[in-house]
Amino acid sequence: MPPPRPTDLLRIMTPDELVRAAIEVAEEGMAHGELPIGAVIEMGGEIIARAHTRDRSWGRRLVHADLLAMTEADEKLGWAPRPHPLRLAVNLEPCLMCLGAAMALKVDEVYYGLDSPADGGSALVADWPASPDLPWYTPPAITGGLHRDEVQDQFRRYCNQAPDSGFRTWAQTLRSR
Ligand SMILES: [Zn+2]
């Protein structure tokens, strides 16, 4: 049998699979007492970074799942040329900060599950005026609504078990949308 060609080995994950992987990471976070928010980053069929939010365990604000996953991906990729598009999946719509980070990291595609009306940034970055002076600094292509019901169920389960806190109050706004 001839050895497999590189193109045979490469199987890009579907958007559905990417968001499902993010949901699994969110589930791990919830098992550790965090909000159920998880993110994965894929390039060329390989998940190169994954993280859940760390708000509670690290006691900080700038520890969103997607930002932590992008930081990990940035450490791996640096400025080296990329052979494949870089894709981010999150179970919840990314906020403005994380979409800004996605633009700085030059993420090509973003997939998410549930809209986040209070802090989701998709609509705002869609209007970003691209400049010919920095042509790569543009918003990624963003697609939401994948496995939305599953994500709502995660927030529902979180609210049923979490102690009263600002996190829980906010999570309650997401479980019923
Ligand atoms: Zn964020």
Which tens digits make up the pLDDT trace of 102-141?
999 999 999 999 999 999 999 999 999 999 999 999 999 9
pLDDT of 81 above 90: yes
Q: What average pLDDT does this structure show over 43-65? A: 97
CA of 116 to the centre of ligand 1 (A): 10
CA of 140 to the centre of ligand 1 (A): 15
**21 is written with which tokens?**
């992987």
What is the rounded CA–CA span in Å between residue 67 and residue 36? 15
What is the pLDDT, as a whole number, of residue 88? 98
Q: How far is CA 103 from the centre of its chain?
A: 13
40 touches 22 (CB < 8 A): yes
CA of 9 to the centre of ligand 1 (A): 33
What is the pLDDT, as a whole number, of residue 15? 97
CA of 35 to the centre of ligand 1 (A): 13
Residue 9's pLDDT band (cuts 50, 70, 90): low
What is the rounded CA–CA span in Å between residue 102 and residue 66? 9
What is the pLDDT, as a whole number, of residue 107? 98
CA of 93 to the centre of ligand 1 (A): 8
CA of 163 to the centre of ligand 1 (A): 22
CA of 14 to the centre of ligand 1 (A): 23
Percentage of the chain exceeding pLDDT 70: 94
What is the rounded CA–CA span in Å between residue 162 and residue 168? 7
pLDDT of 12 above 90: no
What is the pLDDT, as a whole number, of residue 176? 74
